[in-house]
């Protein structure tokens, strides 16, 4: 009865996925890129958050 076996396997899979979803491990962190920093700067224009560009350096020569 392959179809019944498949159904049991699928439902067992649902159960194990459910348990993982209800007690998830913390995912690995991914850090912001410049596009997100720009969006944050726009959003925080009227708040106390300060994002500044890199300090200018004198050109050589």
Partner 1 sequence: MEQSGTSALLQGAVQDLASDVVSALRGGDHVRMSGTGAMDDLEGSFALAAVRVLGADLLLPHVLFPTPPAPEALAVFRRTVEAFPPRADAAPTVKWSHWAMSRTLMRLDTSPVDTSPVDTSPVGAPAGNPTAEPDVAGWLDEATWQVLTHQLAVLAPLAVLGEDCAVARAAQRRPVDVARGFVRAVRRRDWQQAAGAGRWLTLLDGVPETLGLEAGLDFVELMGGSDPRVALQVQAARVMRAAGALV
Residue ranges binding partner 1 (CB under 8 A): 7, 10-11, 13-15, 17-24, 26-27, 29-32, 36, 39-40, 43-44, 47-49
- Residue pair 51/37 in contact (Cβ under 8 Å)? The answer is yes
Residue 39 CB, nearest distance to partner 1 (Å)?
6
Using the minimum distance from each CB to partner 1, give the nearer residue, 31 or 61: 31
| Whole-number Å distance between alpha carbons of 47 and 16 | 45
Using the minimum distance from each CB to partner 1, give the nearer residue, 24 or 61: 24
For the stretch 26-32, contacts whose Cβ atoms lie closer than 8 Å and that sit 24 or more positions apart, written own/partner, are none
């Amino acid at each position: 009865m392959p179809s019944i076996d498949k159904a049991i396997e699928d439902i067992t899979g649902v159960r194990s996925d459910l348990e993982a979803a209800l007690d998830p491990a913390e995912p690995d962190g991914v850090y912001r890129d410049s596009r997100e920093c720009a969006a944050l700067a726009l959003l925080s224009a009227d708040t106390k958050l300060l994002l500044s560009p890199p300090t200018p350096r004198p050109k050589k020569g």
